[in-house]
Structure 1
Amino acid sequence: MTIGLLLTLAALAVVDSTSFGTLGIPVYLLLSSGRSRVSGLLIYLATVAGFYFLVGVALMLGLSTAMDAFGDVLRSGPASWVQLALGAGLFALSFRFDPKRRARLGKPERRFEPRVGGPRTMVLLGLTAGVLELATMVPYLAAIGVMTTSGLAAGQWVPLLAAYVGVMIAPPLALMGLRGVAGAWLEPKLERLRAWLARHAASALSWGLAIVGFLLARDAAVVLFFR
């Protein structure tokens, strides 16, 4: 386990923490009215964290089996070229997620405003957010791939995976704590954050794809050109 690996995972986790499911929805829930706001948000975050962790464990076990069977092939030069091409492709794809492009095409702006409900509602909301983001959890999938190709033992990748998920839900937990201390002062700032997230959701996805593409391409380039 190297410092480079830890920094890469930390960067990917920070990118994941800015997704709509891990930051956007929690901000909406924080601004909801009702006594169950805090408990509802905690249930939602616990559901999202548990969902991501279990998906990660399943992927790690599956990818570990694949590495045992095809490890030499996946670490070969051709596989590194495929990874380099994938990283470059994701980086190029990020430029297509321009919010101004949707406006030029005359497509309406999409908005989603969740509300706090009972425990069952919050669990369902968390699971729904996780399932919907499966197709766009590129940073998380990249982190799983990095941990797998690093040949980590279960005693290493399980706590790393837990720490990764913890970083993902750290920003809304910090906002919740800050709101409890300075609610009146923070309220208008959260409103502005919610409006900003609504305006820049597509841009966030674009940046996420660009960062993940860069990290994948950099990792492959190190293997191909600097070893």
Structure 2
Amino acid sequence: MLAVTEPDFLRDTRVSYNAMAASYTEHFKSGIDDMPIDRAVLAVFAELVRRTGNVDAVDVGSGPGHVTEYLKSLGLNIFGIDLSSEMVALARGMRPGVRFEEGSMTALELPEGSLGGVCAWYSTIHIPDAELPGVLSGFRRVLEPGGWLVLAFQSGDHVQHYDEGFGHALSLDFYRREAAHVAELLGAAGFEVYTRTERGPNPDEKTSQAYLTARAV
């Protein structure tokens, strides 16, 4: 039997977030409490999912779980998945009422058409350009027709590599993408973009931010 080799970007993402999990979680401990645009976009997403009548949802790349918990508070039957075992352990410890599992957005082990919602909140930012269409198609596969996807990501048109963060050695590529380009990819993957929101950077940010909600067609 041939061994399955994990892509480098998945390995690097897992190892990097395992290394900085505690520091990252402490740095972002306020979650989205001081992010009114983020909360508004997520609230719209949650309402759209509730209107489908299927409130089952997944938060891919859930990290410390603050977005997962917020969406659960808005009435979704949501769980989080993350590549990093350390992130999953921290999320479980901080949010015992929410389900978190290890997993990858590149291979969602979920039944076809089973969900009303998929959230990818700043988690596709480590997916290489060549892999992103397949990831978006995977999101479409697990959504029922009429289900909803929400994406958040940094705007731009470049890749930035980090070999250090929060005092830890890393190997992470951050892919900045223009909202219009991501919208085109969503269309090709079987989605219809419903809302597109963009804002400028906050004082502690270097780039503008983009938020897309899209319906599975």
TM-score normalized by structure 1? 0.24
Greater relative CO, 1 or 2 (CA 8 Å, sep 6+): 1
TM-score normalized by structure 2? 0.25
Larger Rg: 1
